Every structure is written in C-alpha cells, then in structure tokens.
Amino acid sequence: MTNSADQATGSITYAPMVVCPNCAKGLEIRSEMYDSFFMAGSTPCARCQNEFDLWRAIREGMAHPANPFFLAGAHVTEFTTELPVGQPRAVKLLDFGIDSDARILDRLISTISPGGEHGLNLAVELMQPWKDERPIPGGLLLAALPVGESPPSSVGVSVRVIWLEGRSLGPGRESLLLALEALHVERIDEVVVPSNTAVEASLGPVMEDYFRPHGSGSDVERFLTDAGYSNQLNVLLPMLAAHLGLPKFPEEIRGALNRLRRLRNELVHRGSLRHRLEVGEARNLISAAAFGTEYCRLIRQRQTASGRAS
C-alpha cells in the first residue's frame, strides 16, 4: 500500500517509509530496495534518482521513527471524527481504510476543540477493564467525557492508528515485531532474543532447502544442528550465496548479527546481560536483523528461480 488519502472520510494512510538522504523525501519501503542494496551496495531513490545507502537510512529512521513499527511493515492511518456527548460511539476502522482483521499495534486519541468557558469534553477510548483489548472487533469504542457545568454537545477527535495487515508475517517477521514492541516500551534487553530469532527462523529454511537434495531429512537436520547458527551464518551462507551467484551478505551487518548472537547466548545462559544494552545499539541490532531476514528472502527467491531453471 502506498500513501493514500480518502477524501470521503478525510483519512490519510502512510505506508512504512524510509527517508532518502539526498532529497529528504519519504520512500515506501519495498523488497526491491533491499535487493538493490544487496546486489549493488546502494539503492536508487524513486524521487530524485540518486543512489543512497539503505543500511544507513534505515538506522537513521530507527533513531527518529514517526512510525516505530515501520521495519515490520506497519502502516499509520490518521483521521478525525465527531463524538456526541452522552453516548459511546463505535468507530469502524474499515470505514477509514484499515483492514477489518488488522492488528492494531498502537493508537493515539486526542481531543480537538474541547469546548468553551463553562465546560469541555475529553475524548476517551473505552476498553475492557481486565485487558488492553478493543471491546469491539475491527473498531474502537470512543466516548466524550463531559467536564464542567455546561459542556458542548459534541467534541472533535483526532485518531492515529498504527496497524499491520491481518495476514501472517511469517516466523521471522513476527519475531522482528516482538523486538520492535520491546524497544517501543523501552524494555531494551528484551530486544535481543526475538531479534536473533528473526534471523535464525529465516535462515533455517534456506539451509534446509539447499541441503535437502543432498541427504535424507534426518541427516540434513542433524548436520545443520551440529553446524549451529554461527557456522550457518558465517560459513554456509556465504557458500550458498556464491553458488547462487549473489554477493556476500555485507560484512558490517553480519558483524552486528554476530554481536547479536553473542548477546543472545549471554542472556540465555546467564539470565541477564553483563553490561546494559544501550538504546542506540538495540536499534542497530534490530536493523541488522531486518536486513538478515531480507537477505534470506532474496536467497530463497533465487533458490526457487534456480530450481525452476534446472
């Protein structure tokens, strides 16, 4: 989905974006951008046509995210509506272009033009008291909370919803989303395990597909288990890329994934990290995990194409 505005509802939806450092324009993140980066070391800007470093742009985007879940493919939809006083109103998100089965990652509800001198209204979302869930499927239940002697009969509300399409992300992207959620609520150490899992979950099927024709399922499984994730990442993956005619995974990002792997082992075996993980490094590690999952996607595409050609 590209950025879109609905004149009938006044809503606008923003696709997950990265900013081109050359022209400062937002670009919708597409798999082809990663492919260009892996193949040529840079990505062409669809706006100014100049090349830019996607790895650097993503990390800068993580440092100042308008959409904290953009690396997982989340969209942002903004709209305004009017709430009458005295009766809750169910707002159907589908009316504003949000899928009925969308996964709502975050929402911000703000009161606009609340009232006059003798009273005002505050917009609130009604939720089930025992857990943070929307009480109606596919929507929000909003209400105007009157304050003062003579509040107005209605209040304007601005709503900002961050959401993912309802389709499954796959195990790699699901783990990446868990890491982003941990970062969003500032539980920094909890970024480590799901970020590492995102790459492991993406790399495992790549290795299985490559070695399956050369041995029984149990032999391949035992070989990959004995090799371990480190050897798969640092030895087998470069070998597979060379076989498929692809450039090696960038050394700087692979180094970040090795750092992530060591932190994961430290956290799992010790129960805590020896040193506090800084927010900046956590962002960098999540970014590296995202590039790792995208490189595995490119490898699998080449494997499929190679299988059809043979």
pLDDT tens across the length of the chain (310 residues): 556 766 667 899 999 999 999 999 999 999 999 999 999 999 999 999 999 999 999 999 999 888 999 999 999 999 998 888 878 888 888 899 888 778 889 988 888 865 555 556 677 777 544 444 555 667 888 888 787 777 778 888 899 999 998 776 788 999 999 999 999 999 999 999 999 999 999 999 999 999 988 888 889 999 999 999 999 999 999 999 999 999 999 999 999 999 999 999 999 999 999 999 999 999 999 999 999 999 999 999 998 887 744 4
Q: Is the dihedral of CA 168, 172, 176, 178 positive or negative?
A: positive
State residue 223's pLDDT score: 93
- What pLDDT does 130 receive? 42
Q: Give the pTM.
A: 0.89
The reported pLDDT for the residue numbered 2 is 59
Q: What is the pLDDT of residue 76?
A: 96
At residue 202's C-alpha, the angle toward residues 227 and 183, to 5°, is: 110
